[in-house]
Amino acid sequence: MTDDPEPVDYRHWEAYFFASGDRTRDDDTVNGPAAEINYGVAPETQLHLVVPVTNFSAAGQSTHSGLGDTEFGVKYRFLDETASRPQIGAFPMVELPTGRASLGLGNGRAWYRLPVWLQKSFGPWTTYGGGGIALNSAPGQRNYGFGGWLVQRDLGPHLTLGAEIFRQGPDTRDDRGFTAVNAGGSLNFTENLSLLFSGGRSFAGDHHTLWYLAFYSTWGPAEAHQP
């Protein structure tokens, strides 16, 4: 759930084919099958798009499935990493109301996330984190803050493992927000193809059980790697 400030390389692509889940005491939401596409449209800048199929079920009710809300964003790294300082970037996103809110598949109105992320590497170790604010004016929803921090380590060329702590404030008028711990990593089959996975749960505030599973691929012209 914690993100990083590193954009896709210029004129390169990333694709994630994934599923993710969030189970609370009252309902269960699964996004999947879903696709995330990122493109390095300019140096230090990527475009970001997520289109999910959302599956929602409230306690004791049948499951509703259909197109969920569409996510669009722009990640921009405005400070590069050096030996003494981290890299820093912003990643504003809008969630477009393409899912039916009456079935629990969407928010009903466009809403926005405005985070800033930073990252520093130390040999095989990488740490990143930050946070921001979400702006949501849909009925029953509210603005909230969020933030997290992650530490991960490369265990050779084929495996990376890490863990994060993430905090989100109350996003409706009735909940308390939550603080969660997740662990996961990536299994790298090749330089350009990986399996990503994570899971965890909250330990403060509202109950959340969280998971994520994805196949990841990247491609692009070699000469565009260093614009």
- Identity of the residue numbered 126: T
Q: Both tokens of residue 33?
A: 């099958």
Structure tokens at 85: 């300082």
- The count of C-alpha atoms lying within 13 angstroms of the C-alpha of 62, restricted to the half-sphere facing its C-beta, is 2
Using the 8-state DSSP alphabet, how is residue 196 labeled?
E
Any residues with CB less than 8 A from the CB of 63 and at least 6 apart, and which? Answer: 55, 56, 57
pLDDT digits (tens, 9 = 90+) for 193-211: 999 999 999 999 999 999 9
The fold of 13-213 is Porin (2.40.160)
Q: Which residues of the chain have pLDDT under 70?
A: 223-227
Write down how long the chain is: 227
- Per-residue HEC secondary structure of 53-118 comes to EEEEEECCCCCEEEECCEEEEEEEEEECCCCCCCEEEECCEEEECCCCHHHCCCCCCCEEEEEEEE
> Tokens 């909250």 sit at which residue?
202
pTM, rounded to two decimals: 0.93
| Whole-number Å distance between alpha carbons of 205 and 168 | 9
What pLDDT was estimated at residue 102? 92
| Spatial distance between the Cα atoms of 177 and 116, rounded to a whole number of angstroms | 20
Residues 73-92: pLDDT tens digits? 999 999 999 999 999 999 99
Tokens 């790294």 correspond to 77
- Residue 178 CA to residue 164 CA, distance in Å, equals 14
Please give the pLDDT value at position 224.
55
Name the maximum alpha-carbon separation found in the chain.
Answer: 55
Peptide bond into 86 cis (omega under 30): no
Where do the domains of the chain lie? Answer: 13-213
CB 146 within 8 A of CB 205: no
SS3 label, residue 191: coil
For residues 47 and 91, give the distance between their C-alpha atoms in angstroms, rounded to a whole number.
10
